[in-house]
Amino acid sequence: ALDVASSEFITAAFSGDSKMLAAVTGDFTIALWLWDKGRLLALQKNAMAASFGITRVSFNPSDSNTLATTGPKFFKLWRYADGQLKVWNVNLHKGREHQGYTDHCWLPGDDRVAACTDQGEILIAEKGELKTVLASAAAAGAARLLCLAPFARGFLAAGEGGVICVFEAAKEDGKDL
C-alpha cells in the first residue's frame, strides 16, 4: 500500500531494462519501484504538481536513474540517487516554466529530452539545460502539438489538424535536429 491520497494512477512507465517502474498517482505523487523485487524505492510527493498535474512519465533509455515528467505547466527531470527521487529542474528560461506541456520523449542515442507544447513548439533539453526551441511544427500549421515519438534517426511530432512533423538528426554529428 502506498501512502498517498489517491487510489488511481495517471501514468506509468518501465525503464528500458524493465527492472524499474515509475507511476504517477492521482494526487501526482511519483512512485518508483524495483519491479523484479517488488520493492518500493522512492515516493516523491509533489505539491507544485498538484496545482498543475503530471500526465506523462518516462525513463531515460540510457540511464534508468533519470526520469522526465510533463503535464499542463509542468516539465521536470528527476534523478534517483541515495534512496530518493530528487527533482532536477530544467532551466527553461523566463516565460517557459509554465507553458502547457502535452508530451515528451527521450531522443535516441543520448541524454536529450524533447517536450512539446500546446503552442506548437518543441523544446529540447540536455542535462537540465534548454538547448533548442523548434517552432517548425507551429509553422507547419500545428497550433497544438499532442504527442512525440522517437525513432532511430530522430522523432515525430503530431498535433491538431492531422499535422505530423518528422525531425531527423543531421548526418555529420548526429546531434542537430
Query: Can you tell me the mean pLDDT for 94-112?
Result: 84
- What residue type is 35 in one-letter code? W
Q: Is residue 135 exposed (0-12), middle (13-18) or buried (19+ Cβ within 10 Å)?
A: exposed
Q: What pLDDT, in 10s, does the model give residues 82-92?
A: 999 988 877 77
Residue 60: name the closest of 24, 107, 1, 12 by CA.
107
- The pTM of the full predicted model, rounded to 2 decimals, is 0.85
User: What per-residue confidence (pLDDT) applies to 93?
Assistant: 63
Query: Can you tell me the mean pLDDT for 123-144?
Result: 80
Query: Can you tell me the mean pLDDT for 66-95?
Result: 85
| Cβ atoms 63, 111 nearer than 8 A | yes
Cell 488511481 found at: 8
Tally: H helices and E strands in the chain:
2, 15
| 12: three-class secondary structure by DSSP | strand
User: What per-residue confidence (pLDDT) applies to 35?
Assistant: 92
pLDDT at 4 over 80: no
Average pLDDT, the chain: 84
Q: What pLDDT, in 10s, does the model give residues 135-165?
A: 876 676 667 899 999 999 999 999 888 888 8
User: What per-residue confidence (pLDDT) applies to 81?
Assistant: 93
